[in-house]
Amino acid sequence: MVEITRSIPVAELLSGVTLDSREGNPEALCRVTDVCVDSRNCSEGSLFVPLPGDTADGHFFIEHALKKGSALCFVNRQFFHKHKEKFFEFQKKYSALFLVVPDSLTALQDLARERMRRMANLCVIGITGSNGKTTTKEILGSILKSYDSTAINPGNLNSDIGLPMAALAVEDSHRFAIFELGINRPSEMDILVDIIRPHAAAITNIGNAHIGPLGSRRAIAEEKRKIFRFLAPEHAGYIFEKDDFVDFLQEAGEGIKTYGPASTPDYEGFQDLGLEGSIINWRGHAIAFPLIGSYNVINALCAISLALEIGVSDDAIIDGLQKVRPLFGRGMVLEGGITVIQDCYNANSDSMFQAIEFVDSLSLTGRKILILGSMKELGADTYIEHRHVGFRAADSTADIVFFFGEESAAAYDAAQENRGGAQEPEFYLLLDFCELKKVVSDTVRNGDLVLLKGSRSVELERLMDTLKKSV
């Protein structure tokens, strides 16, 4: 559910939406207070947007939304005509108004697009990239919140459904709005960037996340650079100075700059504090930055560059860097008898390498244990990318490495083939979660450091209870 702090007249809300017809009670709802795509969240004043999905069609939950209090619903044209008699019943029973549209998802996106167009004084920042975009968004969000009223799309509401929902939540009082844009198919960026039209933007990097649907890293770069399409003349787009596609991305147009250790203004280096984060030296200040890993320092440099671009004060930048905290499953350090780095919200080979490299950099008295889950959406590169991870794990300073999931068999085989280093970790391959849970429980002990890293669908956070009980 997206709450709208100022209830909006229906006519204003729908001004950018293409309607086939209005069916039912025209006075059912005069003002909208929230927009829902889940009928369970509906209440009086809700506009319900039913969306067809892979496992369920939201249209079959329209009556549930009406029972919860919603009196206004979008309906796909095809669905309405197929079930017209049912909607006549709903009209009489609930005195509801149904807005028949060619496509309910497009209608949701049109709602958000029109909402953003009406906010003439809002400065919009867009962030995309294969890795680090969510964390960079959170760092910049922390900085801007220290400066002025700022909207940030929650979590990773960055898709063709999540982004419009986040845009609808922006308030008239906000001066800044930061949006993360995620893609997993060709032409999706066209839709997303047209909804928010960012004045300033950044691409954190071009990696192999979602390479399956897009086909190649160059295709990913071509899609992601569309984020620069609507840059304001007075602002710039940013790309990482050492990205493999930096020259190609700069071809997107004028006003594309780089960020990084060599190009972010007045950056003076950093000191790695391990599990405590880093000290970032900038403009004569030693800033205590709590996010772990040198890769997050790079994300911070992106946020600093964007903040300077839109005129944020030094004090707000320093304050925001100090206050930022990791989101769930993104480099969270959970200390106790067993220290856990919970970095299992998502994974591809680039982020796997970064996580393993960070663990390698730590000087510890206890054992280092890597629990590496399968990486999804790699398409034809699935086998080779898992092998790369296996080779890297074999070279790590870990004592034990658990590979989990069918795709991870390739990583396990590669690790076994690469045996012979100074550390020579123990390797295990497990395909069943219950078996993984038992073996981990039997293996870990007080003083261990455990890295959980895998794709979202693997849900390695399910091991947390086991790890807590194993102390």
Identify which of 44-53, 88-97, 310-319, 378-387 has the greatest average pLDDT: 310-319
Mean pLDDT confidence for 306-329: 96
Confidence label for 313 from pLDDT (cuts 50, 70 and 90): very high
CA distances from 159 to 168, 321, 355 (A): 14, 27, 25
Three-point CA angle 325, 173, 328, nearest 5°: 20
- What pLDDT is recorded for position 202? 98
pLDDT beyond 90 at 471: no
pLDDT band at 5 (very low <50, low <70, confident <90, very high): low
Identify which of 141, 147, 171 has the alpha carbon closest to the alpha carbon of residue 303. Answer: 141
| Spacing of C-alpha 299 from chain mean position | 14
**What pLDDT score does 1 carry?**
65
Predicted confidence band of residue 11 (pLDDT cuts 50, 70, 90): confident
Instruction: Choose between 264 and 32: higher pLDDT.
Output: 264
State the DSSP string of 103-142: -HHHHHHHHHHHHHHT-TT-EEEEEE-SSSHHHHHHHHHH
| Model confidence band, residue 420 (pLDDT cutoffs 50, 70, 90) | low
Give me the domains of the chain, ranges plus CATH numbers.
2-101 (3.40.1390.10), 119-323 (3.40.1190.10), 332-469 (3.90.190.20)
Banded pLDDT at 208 (limits 50, 70, 90): confident
Sequence-distant (6+) residues with CB within 8 A of 254 are none
Predicted local distance difference test score (pLDDT) of residue 378: 85
pLDDT at 14 over 90: no
Of 252 and 196, the structure prediction assigns the larger pLDDT to 196
Chain centroid, CA 413 distance in Å: 31
Q: What is the DSSP string of 183-197?
A: -SSTTHHHHHHHHH-
CB neighbours of 126 closer than 8 A, spacing ≥ 6? 178, 179, 180, 181, 193, 196, 198, 200, 201, 202, 227
Which ranges in 227-372 belong to alpha helices (H)? 246-250, 294-309, 314-323, 349-361
The residue with greater pLDDT, 356 or 376, is: 356
**Residues sharing a CB contact under 8 Å with residue 59, sequence separation 6 or more, in sequence order:** 50, 52, 75, 76, 79, 83, 104
Percent of the chain surpassing pLDDT 70 = 97
The mean per-residue pLDDT over the stretch 376-390 comes to 92
State residue 31's pLDDT score: 80
pLDDT of residue 399 exceeding 80: yes
The confidence score (pLDDT) of residue 232 equals 86
What is the rounded average pLDDT for all residues in the chain? 93
Residue 374 confidence (pLDDT): 96
| pTM for this predicted structure | 0.92
* Model confidence at 12: pLDDT above 60: yes
Confidence bin at 209 (pLDDT 50/70/90): confident
Q: Which residue has the higher pLDDT, 335 or 28?
A: 335
Question: Is residue 338 scored above 70 in pLDDT?
Answer: yes
| pLDDT tens by residue, 149-184 | 999 998 778 899 999 999 999 999 999 999 999 988
Report pLDDT for 470: 66
pLDDT per position as a tens digit, 104-139:
999 999 999 999 999 989 999 999 999 999 999 999
Q: Which residues pair with 277 in a beta bridge?
A: none
Separation of alpha carbons 225 and 239, rounded Å: 10
Residue 228: strand, helix, or coil: helix
The pLDDT score that the predictor gives to residue 341 is 96
Instruction: Count CB-CB contacts under 10 A for residue 421.
Output: 11
Q: Which residue type sits at 302?
A: C
